[in-house]
Amino acid sequence: MKCILIPRHGEDIDNLTCSENFPSPARKAGQVLVKVQACALAPGDIRVMKGHCDYFQSPRGFPYIPGGDISGIVQEADENSRFKRGDRVLCMFEVPRPLDGLAEYACAKEHLVEKIPDDMSFVDAAALTSSALASYNACESFVKPGDRVLILGGSGGCGTFLIQMAKNKGASYIATTSSESELVKALGADVCIDYHKEKFWQITAFKEDPFDIIIDLGVGRYEAWKMARNSGVLKAGKDGGRYLTFSGDEPHMKVHNMWQTVKFALSILPRVVWTRLWPFVPRYLHHINGLEVKPGCFAKIMDMKLRVVIDPHSVTSPLDLEGVKWAFHVMDKRAGHGKVVVQVAST
């Protein structure tokens, strides 16, 4: 089968190659074999490629097929499966490794697969998987009706979904940092802060009427948490103020051994504990279960009829190698607006 391959860990995106005759995957019991139509990229694809978190997120061997969030058409399933040949589906990657998606065929465990409506495009379906799930779980667990919400990074893959979901949840006011003002306002944001021009913690109106929750999508990190805590733009924990992060303090996490895993946990856990015990500062929370797949969650997400924002750097020619390299470059620089999606098949 045709697929994209990465031969080894490395920083050079030019290492990506295209194979025309790679072995097709063999389906196992409990899995669904899918003819892939589209594959959405995510930051995890870059981490796996570079080997930054090879202690727990390394491929099973080399060369490997990158990409994990896919949509496509069912080819095979178990006899008693709820899926049958010809079903249109989306499939999320199996945590922690986003693998095997940039290929003509891929296998996915049944609980990570969901049927999609006939009127949903395969590109939109692929984009809905892990980013929409992480946003959905965040809203279900941490956003309350009536909340004033600030989202750091509103025009990225998660941000474009999170704005809409927070509005659906009943948030009374949504602000976001982004350079794409028109886009985020069209999705439901009340205010867009251009981070090139101003800092959210310096805005007087936010100090006078502080937020209930700030959600950091891996953009602000430690500085944003520190300034939110000290500036008064976020309520204290005793008043319900909470700071939710999707990542840690480092822009590019590196975990090569157990000690680095412990070190990462220790950079987060004490902050979680002491802000829970000391009510005069905002609660610090880590979205550790962001990719938990609960029964029916994808169906609920699709029922929301969300607008799916596809980044203009997405690849429209099936498995075009140069296009895929550029898409990886966009992901590496975290420069996407919406989801970066690679078209895998023309039909």
E strand map for 135-239: 148-152, 173-177, 191-193, 213-216
Question: What is the average pLDDT across 219-225?
Answer: 88
- The per-residue pLDDT for 342 is 97
Confidence of residue 97 (pLDDT cuts 50, 70, 90): confident
Distance CA 321, CA 253 (A): 27
Q: Which residue has the higher pLDDT, 229 or 58?
A: 229
Amino acid at 315: V
Q: Pull the structure tokens for residue 183.
A: 């886009």
Amino acid at 217: L
Cis before 63? omega within 30: yes
Distance CA 229, CA 219 (A): 16
Amino acid at 105: Y
- First and final CA of the chain: distance in angstroms? 16
Q: Pull the structure tokens for residue 328.
A: 């990886």
- The per-residue pLDDT for 171 is 98
Crossing angle of the two packed helices 157-169 and 130-142, in degrees rounded to 10: 40
Least confident of 47-51, 219-223, 341-345: 219-223
Confidence of residue 268 (pLDDT cuts 50, 70, 90): confident
Residue with tokens 């009510």: 279
Give CB contacts under 8 A, 24+ apart, made by 112-117. Answer: 112/293, 113/32, 113/34, 113/83, 113/89, 114/89, 114/90, 114/298, 114/299, 114/302, 115/83, 115/87, 115/88, 115/89, 116/71, 116/88, 116/89, 116/90, 116/302, 117/302
Q: Which residue has the higher pLDDT, 176 or 347?
A: 176
Q: Pull the structure tokens for residue 66.
A: 């990158």
Question: What is the average pLDDT across 248-275?
Answer: 84
Contact indicator for 316, 11 with CB cutoff of 8 Å: no
Q: Which residue has the higher pLDDT, 200 or 98?
A: 200
Confidence of residue 8 (pLDDT cuts 50, 70, 90): very high
Least confident of 199-203, 264-268, 275-279, 316-320: 264-268
Q: Pull the structure tokens for residue 206.
A: 């936010």
Question: What is the average pLDDT across 208-231?
Answer: 93
At 327-337, the pLDDT tens digits run 999 999 888 89
The separation between CA 140 and the C-alpha centre of its own chain, rounded to angstroms, equals 16
At 128-173, the pLDDT tens digits run 999 999 999 999 999 999 999 999 999 999 999 999 999 999 999 9
State yes or no: pLDDT of 252 exceeds 80: no
Closest CA to 331 of 317, 308, 311: 311
Least confident of 16-25, 238-247, 248-257, 314-323: 248-257
Question: What is the average pLDDT across 196-221?
Answer: 94
Does the pTM surpass 0.85? The reply is yes
Q: Pull the structure tokens for residue 42.
A: 């995510």
Q: In 3-state terms, what secondary structure has residue 64?
A: strand
Q: What distances in angstroms separate CA 251 from CA 60, 79, 207, 217, one per listed residue? A: 25, 45, 27, 11
State yes or no: pLDDT of 251 exceeds 70: no
Domains and CATH numbers, the chain: 3-128+310-343 (3.90.180.10), 132-286 (3.40.50.720)
Distance CA 93, CA 218 (A): 20
DSSP, res 193: E
Angle, alpha carbons 148-212-142 (nearest 5°):
95
